[in-house]
Chains A and B, each alone.
Chain A
Amino acid sequence: MSGHTVEEIRQETRKYWVVFLALIALTVVTVAVSYLDLSPGMAVFVALLIACFKGGLVAGVFMHLISEKQAIYAILLLTVVFFVVLMIGPVFGRWGSTGLG
C-alpha cells in the first residue's frame, strides 16, 4: 500500500499515471486486434488475455491489491475459485447432454 511519507505517496502517484497510460495503450491494442482476422477461439483468448492484464493493473495498482493483507487475498482466492466454477459449470453441463434446454 502507499507509504506514509509524502515522498512515498508522490512516487505512488507517478505509478498511477504510468498505469493510466498503459491502460489507454492496451485499450487501443484491444480494438486494433479485433480488426485482425483471428479464429473465434483465438480472438476470445487474445481479448480476454489483454483484458486480464488491464484488470490486473487496475486491481494491483489502483486498488493496491499488490500490497494487501492476507485476509483479503484469502477471501479473493476463494472468490476466484467459485467464479471459475460458475463460469465453467453450466457450460460443461451441456457436454454430452441430450441437448435439450
Chain B
Amino acid sequence: MQIPYNVDARPDTGLYNAKLGVWLFLASEVMLFGALFSSYVLLRTGDPNFMTIPHEIAEHLGAQDGALWSGQLNVPLAFLNTLVLIFSSVTMVMSWASLKLKDFGKFKLWMGLTNLCALGFMVIKAIEYSSKFSHDLFPSSGNFLAVYFTMTGLHALHVIGGLIVNGYLWGPGSKMWKTEPERFTNRVEVAGLYWHFVDLVWIFLFPSLYLL
C-alpha cells in the first residue's frame, strides 16, 4: 500500500508530504521559542534587578557591586558559535544541492562538514557551561542565568536532535540514495529545513542573551 505524494508533489498544493509536515513542525517550534522569548521579555521587564548580580554572588565572582550578568557571558565564544552555525547552514544546503546535481560524493562531504560544525557547536557550548558551573553559576543563581541556561539548553537539545538526524542521513540512512534517490533527496531537504531553523533561532538568541 503506497501513500500518495510521499515523493512526488501533489499538483494542487505543489508539495510532497514531508515538506508540508516539516513546515508545520517548524510552525510549532516558532510558537515554542516564541513562548521562551516572550517569557524572557516579561521576566526582564518585570524585575528591575533582573540583570544585576546579587551582592553575595558578585563578591564570590570578584566582580564589582552592581555588575551585570551579561558581563559573565563569553561573547567571543558565542560569536564563534554563531559563525559555526551559519557555516553549517550553508554546508547543509550545499549537501542537498549536491544530491540535486547527483553528486553523492559532494553530498557526503558537505553533510559531513555540517555534522562536524554541529559537534563543534556543542563542544563550545560545553566549554561555556562548564566555565559557568566551575564559578558556581547555576540556573538557580538568578533569573537571567535561569533564562540563559534554559533557552540555550533547549536550543542545544535541538542541535543534538539535528545532529542525530543528519548523522543518520550521512551514515546508514544514505543507503537509500542507491534505491530511492529522489526520496532520499527529499529527506535531506526536509532535514535541512529543520537545521536552518535551528540556526535561525540562534541568530535571535545570540544578541538577545549575549549582547543586550
Question: Among residues 166 to 210 in chain B, which have CB atoms less than 8 Å away from a CB atom of chain A?
Answer: 192-193, 196-197, 199-200, 203-204, 206-208
Closest chain A CB from B27 CB (angstroms):
4
- The 0/1 profile, CB within 8 Å of B marked 1, for residues 72-86 of chain A is 100110111011001
B35–A86 touching, CB < 8 Å: yes
B206–A55 touching, CB < 8 Å: no
Closest chain A CB from B42 CB (angstroms):
5
Which has the most chain B C-beta neighbours within 10 Å: A40, A55, A58?
A58
Which has the most chain A C-beta neighbours within 10 Å: B20, B42, B86, B196?
B86
B204–A55 touching, CB < 8 Å: yes
Closest to B79 in A: A31
A34–B207 touching, CB < 8 Å: yes
Interface-facing stretch out of B59-67, B90-98, B128-136: B90-98
A80 to B23, CA, bound (A): 13
Closest chain B CB from A42 CB (angstroms):
11
Chain A interface helix/strand/loop/mixed: helix
With beta carbons under 8 angstroms apart, the residue of B82, B94, B192 that contacts A27 is B82
With A9-B101, A91-B42 in contact, is A24–B83 under 8 Å at CB? Answer: yes
Asked if B100 lies at the interface with its beta carbon under 8 angstroms from chain A, I say yes
- The 0/1 profile, CB within 8 Å of A marked 1, for residues 77-111 of chain B is 00100110011011011100100110000000000
Question: Among residues 38 to 95 in chain A, which have CB atoms less than 8 Å away from a CB atom of chain B?
Answer: 40, 43-44, 47-48, 50-51, 54-55, 58-59, 62-63, 69-72, 75-76, 78-80, 82-83, 86-87, 89-91, 94
Closest to A31 in B: B79
With beta carbons under 8 angstroms apart, the residue of B34, B46, B192, B193 that contacts A86 is B34
- The 0/1 profile, CB within 8 Å of A marked 1, for residues 22-41 of chain B is 01100100110011011101
A residues whose Cβ falls under 8 Å from a Cβ of B = 2, 6, 9-10, 12-13, 16-17, 19-20, 23-24, 27, 30-31, 34, 40, 43-44, 47-48, 50-51, 54-55, 58-59, 62-63, 69-72, 75-76, 78-80, 82-83, 86-87, 89-91, 94
